[in-house]
Amino acid sequence: MNSKVIPVKTVERLVLYKRLLRDLLGKGEQCLYSHQLAELAKNTPAQVRRDLMTIGYAGSPRKGYGVQELIDRISEVLEETREHRIALVGIGNLGRAILSYFNYKHQGLAIVAAFDSDPSRTDRVITGCRCFHTNEFAAKVKELDISIGIITVPADRAQGVADMMVAAGVKGVLNFAPVPLSLPEHIFTDRIDITMALEKIAYFASRK
């Protein structure tokens, strides 16, 4: 199953299901039905069943889905049994906030190094993460087995940082800079533009 590429939207829903299921497990819930998970995820029972069939998990008509078993199966499909090692480039306010967020354990994800071109921000530890100059990026990607990059630099530097990441062998990029990136097709990238999201929300909010 892990060799099959799952659609992006399905992966997004699986990540949400896993988060909701962990909350339920913490409350002592052992089993639930598709309609219950759908209600929590704000979609339909049919969608939940299709998503879980995609990962090869079927519940019981009598008991529904086992919460822990379903968490384990989603984690297996998302390859959380191995650690994905991450590099962050741009140790400004946003970069530091992300490092602080990852200062506690996230299963399967770890920022193992941060980089900046400003010498005053390097050769130090920030919220538990060792920071290096960008000149060391390629060597550290190889040394630390880094596969994912996070970009938190200004817009005018983002493409150059992305090119540096690709050249060093990074396979996936999360871009916080407010600019689209031009990357090879084999590099999976996602973009989080906070201002764009707020402008979209403001447009619809003003019409309510």
What does the pLDDT average to over 155-174?
97
Fold classification of 84-197 is Rossmann fold (3.40.50)
CATH number attached to the domain at 8-77:
1.10.10.10
* pLDDT tens sequence across 78-125: 876 578 899 999 999 999 999 998 876 677 789 999 999 999 999 999
Closest to 161 (Cα-Cα) out of 178, 142, 181: 181
Domain regions of the chain by residue span? 8-77, 84-197
What pTM does this model have?
A: 0.82
